[in-house]
Amino acid sequence: MDSLKQAEIKKATVIGAGEMGHGIAEIFLINGYNVYLVDINEQALLKSKQLIEESLNKFVERGKLKPEDLTRFMNNLKLSTSIEESVKDAEIIIEAVPEKIEIKADVLSRASKFAKADAIIGTNTSNIKITDLSQYVSSPWRFLGTHFFNPPVIMKLVELVKGEKTDDKILDKVYNLMKSFGKEPIKVMKDTPGFIVNRISAPELLFFCLVVDQNLAKPEEIDAFAKEQGLPMGPYELMDYVGLDVVYDSLLYFSKVISPDYGKCKTVGELVKQGRLGKKSGYGFYQWSGGKAIIPKAAASDKVNLLDVLVLEVNEAVKLIEEKVATPEDIETAVKLGLNRPFGPITVAKSLTNDEVKSKLLELYQKFNCEVFKPAKSIEEGKLKDVIEGRYKPEKSGEKEKAEIEQQATSSAFKFIRLENLGNHVLRISIDRPKRNFLSPDVIEELDKAIESVWNDRDIWIVVLTGAGSDFSAGADLSTYIADGMQFIEFSRKGERVFRKLAEIPKVTIAEMKGYVLGGGFELALACDIRVASSDAIIGFPETTLGLLPGWGGTQRLAKLTNMNTALWLILTGKKISGEDALKLGIVSQVYDKSVIDDETIKLAKEIASNNAPIAEALAKRLINKATEVPMDIGLEWESTAFGILFNTEDLKEGISSLFEKRKPNFRGR
């Protein structure tokens, strides 16, 4: 390498050559940095060098790295026992020494003292607040949390934590650097102990500690239960693997900075005092031999269930959103990546009702007398769905802050449609575009997202589709730029796919046809299960008068809903009809005066939700929608199978009991 190129190579220093430090050093080496790896222990340095070389060799064996690159990277690695010497030229310094404040304080103060004035300094702390550590760093504006996950070379997630004094530009710079390394950085926007992933995991860690403290089940019984659920390790085997001292220290730290109840766990503390630290000492909850835990055979415990753990995660995720630590999307991504899971707490929260989460949390809170398990404020107030869908507004925030949150919520979620949870299991989606709510590709895209986001939300049973203002929608936006025939086909197919979803979504959909309901707007209404109209609505298919034809299912659904004659008449003449006419033709089921249609439609939606069992409704609508597409024999077979599904629902039992007890049923969608 010539001297010019050598001069261009960037320099990084990693302090602490342990489990994490050697992996972090390897990441910088792979990305072409000159790396100084520093430790007080020379053996640790030599061991790290060996581990890095072994890891790089694996990349060579898999053909992902050339042998000459391996040699170059290893030549770029320097080992040192001197912080002072190794930090002085570095552009970025990452501290990865043990999770003890006094050690980190000493290392950070020396590193920042001898580093270049503009060197970025990151800490790989698992839990300690960045603001607390920043007091040991000179010029703390350049200091942030850089929380890698184990093993750092493999795990994509890096939590980048902003301390109170961290400069936004530094956060952005490291964010871009990590992106350029192929990592998936997540910005943690408010300093909190444990950041995202470890904070989400903290209550369940405490939960399992309290389960053994209270002798509810033996560790091996719970671990057997966890393995039955498909987890590779149960919680106690995992604690042993991580190190009981590490677990205990984390819980003690959380007891000081989050809630004293984290200090309640006794068993783990006693094991640590006895020197039983888990895998590293050969004995923890279990004995360890040859790197494996010897777990006594046991039947899976029935004293815990999956929902216990899931609601604790949901609760903590909600607290993080309330505290404005991260957005729901970032929390979901961080947990999926950090814990190698197919889904995170936001997905779980979407599939549970506020009542289910709240009652389970209250049960755990009372059973263990533990404040940590108490429902978060918004769950207490029934606002779980608002929080996870980004519509949360803290009460205490000022006008400016509220406006910002509102702006964030709309910009991150929807710009052209509005979603309102109206309570009693009813969601209203309003198309909200200037001048008659024309359907542009953006509106179709957002409708698609909205339908997907509500698909598994068990709190929502009825979806009302309407338009903001006095019109439903006057049709597709013909000012949309369409480059060629192929793009036109795709615009049409996209709408078809989205409208088909409306026919399949397991909820009752109601179209509120008011004002102009033309072309694409009419097609959208036809894709809903129930249609109501204002008496003076202007309904029709004017497409052929423009040289087009009704797309998005328009030529198909109207004929199936009414008859060939009506469809041919409306489409081939392009004539417009009123809501009253549509009622006579069997296109709509109710007509209201335009002055009351908004209220009457919601009243109807709430009435359906209060009188009818949602699972039965979801199955019935699907069967009816398929009726025109499949032969009678198949439809009847599906119908019988649906009875088998309903047989096991709580709602069927409730429906029959209420009939005999002469009372109104209280359906719960289970």
Residues at the contact surface with ligand NAD, assessed by CB under 6 A = 15-21, 38-41, 44, 96-99, 103, 106-107, 124-126, 149-150
Minimum Å gap between C-beta 228 and ligand NAD is 26
Nearer to ligand NAD, 151 or 263 (CB): 151
* Cross-strand bridge partners of residue 473: 517
- Please give the residue whose beta carbon sits closest to ligand NAD in the complex: 18
Q: How far apart are CA 549 and CA 555, in angstroms?
A: 8
Residue 67: exposure state from Cβ atoms within 10 A (0-12, 13-18, ≥19): exposed
Q: Write the CB contacts of 142 (distance below 8 Å, at least 6 apart in sequence).
A: 118, 119, 120, 121, 166, 167, 170
For residues 114 and 384, give the distance between their C-alpha atoms in angstroms, rounded to a whole number: 48
Q: What whole-number distance in Å separates Cα of residue 376 and Cα of residue 616?
A: 33
In order, the DSSP letters of 92-156 are EEEE---S-HHHHHHHHHHHHHHS-TT-EEEE--SSS-HHHHHTTSSSGGGEEEEEE-SSTTT--
157/602 with CB nearer ligand NAD: 157
Residue that is written with structure tokens 């033709």 in the block? 585
**d(Cα 171, Cα 507) in Å, to the nearest integer?**
43
Q: At what angle do helices 21-30 and 67-75 cross, to 10 degrees?
A: 120
Minimum CB separation from ligand NAD for residue 258, in Å? 17
In whole angstroms, the minimum distance from the beta carbon of 133 to ligand NAD comes to 10
Nearer to ligand NAD, 245 or 330 (CB): 245
Q: Which residues does the annotation mark as catalytic? A: 523, 543
Contact 178, 171 (CB under 8 A): no
Which residue type is seen at 415?
K
Contacting residues for 91 by C-beta, under 8 A, at least 6 apart: 10, 11, 12, 116, 119, 120
Q: How many Cβ atoms are within 10 Å of 273's Cβ, its own excluded?
A: 9
Task: Output the smallest distance, CB 347 to ligand NAD, in A.
Answer: 24
* For ligand NAD, the closer CB: 96 or 211: 96
Pairing of the two strands 516-518 and 538-540 = parallel
Shortest distance, position 246 Cβ to ligand NAD, whole Å? 7
Q: Please identify, using beta-carbon distances, which residue of 45 and 271 lies nearer to ligand NAD.
A: 45
Q: Among residues 255 and 658, whose Cβ is nearest to ligand NAD? A: 255
